[in-house]
Amino acid sequence: MHVRFQILVWAWCLPLMLAVTAAEEQQGEGCSAKCGAVTISNPFWFTDLETGRSCGSPRLPDFQLTCLNNSYPLLPSSVPYKHGFAILNISYGERSLHVIDLGKLQLLHDEPNNFNSCLPIWNTSAKLGRPFKISPVNQELILYNCTEKAAAAARREKELVQAKAMRCVNTSNAFVRAGVPYDPTGSYSGYALEDCAPIVLPVLPSGETNASHYERLIQSGFLLKWELPPPGK
């Protein structure tokens, strides 16, 4: 009789235990959390550094974020040891992110104690993971780092502004062009300058974009779009 009673209790409790386990798993995969003012939900996820618990679906490593100082979420760069992207807002309905390229933002600030701060500067698009693309609604800002000879010719270009506030470049030979239309090929060959190394970064469109406002444009960020991988990948 005692054994039979235990079997009956186990049979009654098992569905409840399975339901609780399923609910916990669902919460782990579909939970929503805040990092600063940004709500983090699927497909994005992060690990709570205090509890060690993952919030979201860890099966999508490209969508893993870091919550920095509980102030803003960070989308990491796909290039090792490069600054990632601070997320200002996520639109889940439009699958878009409003972000700031922290590597380009750092070029506006003096950090003499950071010995890695002047490593080679990459185009923003080169630092994006596979699911992420620059939204075509953005415009582009092009920073040119020119030789002495090329800089003399660049100074005569009316559309170029000298980048006096930039770090990690010779500001006498660095120039900025703004208002460049988005090019899905990423070549921007029509804006090449001889003997000038270009660095391309997207910025939000703001009417008639003026290159002299390049600091504000970089600080305002830009939009990214994302696509989910096919099921099973």
**Other beta carbons within 10 Å of 187:** 10
Q: Domain limits of the chain?
A: 1-75, 104-228
b/e burial code for range 69-80 (CB count within 10 A of at least 16 → b):
eeebbbbbbeee
**Out of 23-37, 133-147, 159-173, 213-227, which region has the weakest mean confidence (pLDDT)?**
23-37
b/e burial code for range 91-123 (CB count within 10 A of at least 16 → b):
eeeeebbbbbbbbbbbbeeeeeeeeebeeebbb
Based on the number of CB atoms within 10 Å of its own CB, is 56 exposed (0-12), middle (13-18) or buried (19 or more)? buried
pTM value is 0.79
* Residues 147-176: tens digit of each pLDDT: 999 999 999 988 899 988 888 888 889 999
**Out of 12-16, 27-31, 221-225, which region has the weakest mean confidence (pLDDT)?**
12-16
Distance of CA 130 to the CA centre of its chain: 12
* Residues 71-130: tens digit of each pLDDT: 889 999 998 878 899 999 999 999 999 999 998 888 887 554 544 456 567 889 999 999
Of 60, 150, 168, 152, the residue nearest 112 (C-alpha): 168
The mean predicted confidence, pLDDT, of the chain is 79
b/e burial code for range 200-230 (CB count within 10 A of at least 16 → b):
bbbbebeeebebebbbebbeebbbbbbeeee
Residues 6+ apart with CB under 8 A from 171: 162, 163, 164, 165
